Amino acid sequence: MALARAVIEELRRVVGRESVIDSANDLRIFERDGSIEGAMPDAVVLASTTEQVAGVMKVAARHRIPVVPRGAGTGLSGGAVTIRGGIALQVTRMRRILEIDPVAMTALVEPGVVNQELSLVAAQHGLFYAPDPSSQKACTLGGNAAENSGGPHCLYYGVTTNHVLGMEVVLADGSVHWVSGDAPDRIGLDLCGVLVGSEGTLCAITKIKVRLLRIPPSIATLLAAFPSIESASQAVSAVIGHGIVPAALEMMDNVTVGAVEAHYHAGYPTDAGAVLLVEVDGIAESTRELTAAISKILAANQGYAMREAQTPAERELLWAGRKGAIGALGRIKPNYYLHDGVVPRSRLPQVLSAVGEIGEHYKLPVANVFHAGDGNLHPNILFDLRDRDVLDQVEAAGEEMLRAVVELGGALSGEHGIGLEKSAFMPWIYSEDDLNAMHRVKDVLDADGILNPGKIFPDPSRRPVHLAGRTGLAIEAKWW
């Protein structure tokens, strides 16, 4: 249902006439994020300041209109999809880097700052921002904080929450607050920790203070091929088992390598069953020793065709292939469905075997590219959305893959969030008491439930949670 004209006029008084979009054709641009589901908002509001965000929230609170904060729309769990209509609150105009403090090694930014832009600016001071999602050339820091995003280098450096020191946020009633996590002796609740990763369900983020790190003096990047994804998985466990935690430890299977090499010509061996991309950093002596130790471990686990990037340009090309892998899969099929379950590293061979069997059962191609070092899977189910009959199979296959993850002691998400696509599966991990406790936090900060409704928590208006399937899990289906 469209918003009343009086409400549209209220919003225009807050942000300006040209900053409110309510034409049906224009709204279609904001129908989706990076997931496979979409829904039209009733209006899009392009906010430029904290005051405007607060004003929009006050209008929404008065009329009990749903509000979905939205960044670049690169999210992969449906978090920015307006499934209840209402307002898509677009904050990408808020893209100023307000301060770089090279002494304290911090930055204060607005939520629309693109992830990579921060590191490019920080590099002028010999600093960088560690969390680096594969979409870092497009994704925004507000979205990263909302989803608690990860990235290849988060194995060693930690995910977004480990680098956020404080945030300015707007709550559902339009009130503006600064929540800080940077004081080691802070008293009371860690509200910053609660709000990072809350997926837009508790607040809209308007400023973020983040930790920056010194650019390491030496970086070594190693590529290794393996005859199978199982042998590559064993090599990953062996590296970590020797007490070595690289800055990054990424894996791609044969399907992904073929697509990436055809597009990027990065020198990936297309005959390999899987490849590992390993990176270490630090002082030169340390990186040399670690590279030698890792090479020896990989060779002992069937690694071959190993080579180290000799120049920054070669390193950049290897990483361009990894970070552009999902886009390169468009050479195989135009669409993909991607989950990000996490399993203990020791369970990688079992879960990857299950993923392969599920793909074969549904006759769907599956490409694996993932953060192997921390067991964060990214199975890409490839399909063509123009074939309307295939979508049910794709979703069923994705659900079975997540069942396999849970059955092997894993979790539903490592970095993409729960959002819309995995909300029905929350009872697989959490008890009714757990979910009620989470709801109570939501109720305190958003009593009317207007902030990103229908996300994270199971929605009884959508579909039941079916837990009996091919992986052997057999738990009673529930409505929540």
pLDDT tens digit string along 313-339? 999 999 999 999 999 999 999 999 999
For the entire predicted model, the pTM comes to 0.93
By the 8 A CB rule, do 455 and 419 touch? Answer: yes
Q: What is the pLDDT of residue 355?
A: 97
Q: What is the pLDDT of residue 474?
A: 31
By the 8 A CB rule, do 303 and 247 touch? Answer: no
Q: Write out the H or E segment, with its range, that includes residue 177.
A: strand 176-180
Top CATH class of 97-214 equals alpha beta
Q: What is the pLDDT of residue 462?
A: 65
Coil, helix or strand for 365? coil
The pLDDT-based confidence of 460 (bands split at 50, 70, 90) is confident
Domain 333-445 bears CATH identifier 3.30.70.2740: yes
What is the domain partition of the chain in residue ranges? 5-90, 97-214, 218-329, 333-445
Q: With a cut of 50, say whether residue 419 has pLDDT above it.
A: yes
The pLDDT-based confidence of 185 (bands split at 50, 70, 90) is low
- pLDDT tens digits, 39-74: 999 999 999 999 999 999 999 999 999 999 999 999
Top CATH class of 5-90 equals alpha beta
What is the distance between the alpha carbons of residues 452 and 296, in angstroms, rounded to a whole number? 49
What is the number of alpha carbons within 13 Å of residue 27 lying toward its C-beta?
22
Q: What's the order of all strands across the beta sheet hosting 379-383?
A: 304-308, 218-226, 274-282, 248-253, 366-370, 379-383, 335-338
Q: With a cut of 90, say whether residue 479 has pLDDT above it.
A: no
CA distances for 14 relative to 20, 56, 59, 216, angstroms: 10, 7, 9, 45
The mean per-residue pLDDT over the stretch 356-366 comes to: 97
Taken as a whole, the chain contains a residue count of 480
Top CATH class of 218-329 equals alpha beta
- pLDDT tens digits, 214-265: 999 999 999 999 999 999 999 999 999 999 999 999 999 999 999 999 999 9
Four-residue CA torsion sign, 258, 260, 263, 267: negative
Q: With a cut of 70, say whether residue 206 has pLDDT above it.
A: yes
Task: Confirm whether 218-329 and 333-445 share one CATH topology.
Answer: yes
What is the distance between the alpha carbons of residues 154 and 158, in angstroms, rounded to a whole number? 4
The mean per-residue pLDDT over the stretch 273-288 comes to: 97
